[in-house]
Amino acid sequence: MKQFTIPNIYRSSLISAIKNKRKQDDKLKKDYSPTLLDFGGLHIYLARHFGFCYGVENAIEIAFKTIDENPGKRIFLLSEMIHNPQVNADLQARGVQFLQDTYGKQLIDFDTITKEDIVLIPAFGTTLNIEALLNEKGIATEKYNTTCPFVEKVWNRSEQIAKKGYSIVIHGKPKHEETRATFSHAAQNSPSIIVNDMKEAIELAKYITGEKESSAFAEEFKGRFSQGFDATKDLQRFGVVNQTTQLASDTQAISDYLKQVVKTHYQLTDATIGERFADTRDTLCYATNDNQTAVSGLLETQADLALVIGGYNSSNTSHLVELCEQKLPTYFIDSANRIADKHTVTHCNWITKQQTVTNDFLPQKDIVKVLITSGASCPDALVEEVIRKLAGFYNADDLVDELLTEFE
């Protein structure tokens, strides 16, 4: 896989050494057991896969290269490059301005942008309307487009099945940048609708079976379907694609459920299901899948708590928190600074986004066992900072560098 050039401030010698060692020992990526870091009174278990993915590193490389190659030019980002506060703050410190917030609210009017300016499209992609608006201004969107290739893969697959007469059901968070972009691309080619979760998928299925009257559809799914969408005919043939940062297992479950509904309703067999339901399993993002599967492997280890590191508005990170919370006390933090001392941590609720202070989060026992993972937009340097901070509480600072030598 391509190696990207990104600022060293995001790299970690320790984490790089661990990842390289695991890669050498497990070239086929079949071992999802965690890596043990033994600090005596503290055992840290690192997930097999975590941190920056291909799409994130690609976006960061393009962004910082653009800044270096265009001194004196105004550089804008459509919205956050990725959902990590440090990376976005670093870009702003280099003079980059955000045109919109993460929910599409305008921060700087498009009318102030000229063809002399540079506008970076973030890793999530953007809508066709915004892309057309920028192109009309003479702005070269293709040159500064950091859209993740795996997001584009979802768009391409949607277009392929649309040409075969299928409608598109998108599993995603309706307000998320990526979902808005995917919906825009899908809706250009085919009737499209967004479902947020299994609960909504179940309700959508009732329009397929006729259990619900089509007259109720417009209100129930308001703002989440393409113009002219007709529930009576546009749900007769469709495929399911996803926002790539959703739980892969959730997308698969929704797809399997809707497939079974279609199969039963139209009395189809495994051989004929393709007449009504398109196979889109190949749109699941490898990095999202790897990180989530690695957390499942991580959770097989008996531990006292889990720390999940990443931006609070990061969808993929939130789902890692969701998985960990099902098993043990979990603290969602965006930096080592959230850990005040051996007793106190300030952490975020992945659903409400409210922050809470918890005392005595590290238990008093001979050996404390902590599971650690991070989101796809979290720099490895932040993970190392958390490890070093925890090790310091157990007078094991020197062991961090010894471990680095060991893994190298």
Task: State how far the alpha carbon of 400 is from the alpha carbons of 128, 179, 196, in Å.
Answer: 48, 40, 42
Query: What's the length of the chain?
Result: 408
Instruction: Estimate to the nearest angstrom the gap between the alpha carbon of 271 and the chain centroid.
Output: 34
**How far is 45 from 195, CA to CA, in rounded Å?**
35
Helices (H) and strands (E) in the chain, counts: 13, 14
Check if the beta carbon of residue 242 is closer than 8 Å to that of residue 169: no
Structural tokens at position 31: 């071992």
**How far is 322 from 215, CA to CA, in rounded Å?**
36
Residues annotated as catalytic are 178
β-bridge mates for residue 168, sequence order: 192, 239
First vs last Cα of the chain: how many Å apart?
Answer: 21
Task: State how far the alpha carbon of 254 is from the alpha carbons of 53, 191, 203, in Å.
Answer: 25, 19, 12
* Residue found under tokens 């993740």: 148
